[in-house]
Amino acid sequence: MSAEPPLSTYPGERLGLPPSGPGSVGRLGRRIAAYLIDSACAALISAAFFHYEAWATLAVFLIVQVLFIPTIGGSPGHRIVGLRLMPVRGGWVGLWRPILRTVLLALLIPAVIWDADQRGLHDKAAGTVLVRV
């Protein structure tokens, strides 16, 4: 007899998160909006200072992610759309989680593959979850 985890009735249930409202898993629409906001800001900074160089745009995006996640609990885009990043086990996100998560996010593929809790592979690898504020 195998000990498979019980099926969940909503995203985040297996993580002990509420079904909706503050503390619930951030849904796809908010996550896409946050990504677009962060990407647009990176593009604007790149255009202003680096003549919209592709590598500069990517570098600005990555630096913003790594700097803001541990300091304000998410990227500017996350915070604008009402999300924050937290470790699944609670506490401070630390420094290594934002770095690992951001490197995987830059590859894009891990971000578009997610589990029943709507966590992308980049969040699963980093042990994090985006929740509503």
pTM as predicted: 0.90
Pure H helices in 23-128: 28-50, 54-72, 76-80, 96-106, 109-112, 121-126
d(CA 21, CA 114): 21
Give the Cα separation of 49 and 31 in Å (integer): 27
Domain residue ranges in the chain: 23-132
Model confidence pLDDT, tens digit, residues 66-80: 999 999 999 999 999
Name the residue type at position 124.
K
- CA–CA separation, 12 and 26 (whole Å): 9
Instruction: Encode pLDDT of 23-42 as tens digits.
Output: 999 999 999 999 999 999 99
Residue appearing with tokens 């506490």: 91
